[in-house]
Amino acid sequence: MKILDNVYLVGSGQIGLSHPFDCNIYLIDGEDELALIDSGAGVDVYPVLSNIREDGFNPENISKIILTHHHADHSGGCKKIKEVTSAEIYIHQHGAAFVEKGDAEEMGLTVAKRSGFYSPTYKYNPFKIDYRINDKDIISVGKLKLKAVNTPGHSKDSTCFYMYTGHYSALISGDVVLFDGRICLLNRADSNLEDYRRYFSKIAALSFDALMPGHGVFVIKGGKQHVEKADLALKRLSPPPNFI
């Protein structure tokens, strides 16, 4: 489903575009290169591949899967999608060990299952990382460039990507910040409000039109206002509302 020039939504559990456990999955069309942002949970990757074909692309031409963070609803599809695409997989350096080992406890899967976010039978398929992202890295997708902005708070490896196409700018925000300035603070060791307060200004300082979050509604214009709303709340006494 085309949402912007060069950007397609090809997976989302919430709106029934793919398996219910899947995050929002975006396809970036750099014209002579294709990349996926996140991979979904991997329970069933065929609706994602089918959506890519319906949008007029061959999944075999996807050369990069760029992960916003290690959580299973974002990274669990990598192994199966790589079997079809041979894409190289990118994640922030702090997330690499989690997805390569795939330990349910370390990844927070045990508590997420207990909280009803995954079925008890859900199994994570670990995979090898091809590129470990550092803050400020520039990742090329054909003619487009994505700038990595490591923004801990939801998780230490959470990384937003700033993209400018020549026509508009966009922030791919993963689970760091979502529609209406909601954040996603988890009851987990690597998720904390202090990191949100410390690092959020890195994305609040950016100017962009579109906001492409990991769940829920994406925003075509005025995306910055949603991030500003969270930023204002993080500077006051009461934290922003939580997404979950």
Residues near Zn ion (CB under 5 A) are: 71, 175
Closer CB to Zn ion, 213 or 223, in the complex: 213
For residue 7, the minimal CB distance to Zn ion (Å) is: 20
Q: Residue 33 or 180: which CB sits closer to Zn ion?
A: 180
Shortest separation between residue 155's beta carbon and Zn ion, angstroms:
6
What gap in Å lies between CA 182 and CA 234, rounded to an integer?
A: 11
**Which structure tokens are listed for 184?**
């996603």
Q: In terms of CB distance, is 82 or 154 closer to Zn ion?
A: 154
The residue behind tokens 């959506």 is 51
**Nearest distance in Å: CB 154, Zn ion:** 6
Task: Give the separation between CA 118 and CA 150, rounded to whole angstroms.
Answer: 26
Looking at the Cβ atoms of 71 and 92, the one nearer to Zn ion is: 71
Tokens of 1: 């489903």
24 vs 165, beta carbon nearer Zn ion: 24
The CA-atom distances, in angstroms, between 196 and each of 25, 146, 181, 230, 235 are 24, 22, 13, 10, 10
Q: Which residues contact residue 187 at a Cβ distance below 8 angstroms, ignoring those fewer than 6 apart?
A: 111
Q: What is d(CA 244, CA 241) in angstroms, rounded to the nearest whole number?
A: 9
**Those residues with Cβ within 8 angstroms of residue 3's Cβ, 6 or more apart along the chain or in another chain:** 9, 218, 220
In the bound state with Zn ion, the residue whose beta carbon lies nearer, of 71 and 94, is 71
Least CB distance to Zn ion at residue 58 (A) = 29
User: Smallest distance from the beta carbon of 72 to Zn ion, in angstroms?
Assistant: 9
Residue least distant from Zn ion (Cβ)? 71
CB of 103 to Zn ion, least distance (A): 16
How are beta strands 88-92 and 131-133 bridged, if at all? Answer: parallel
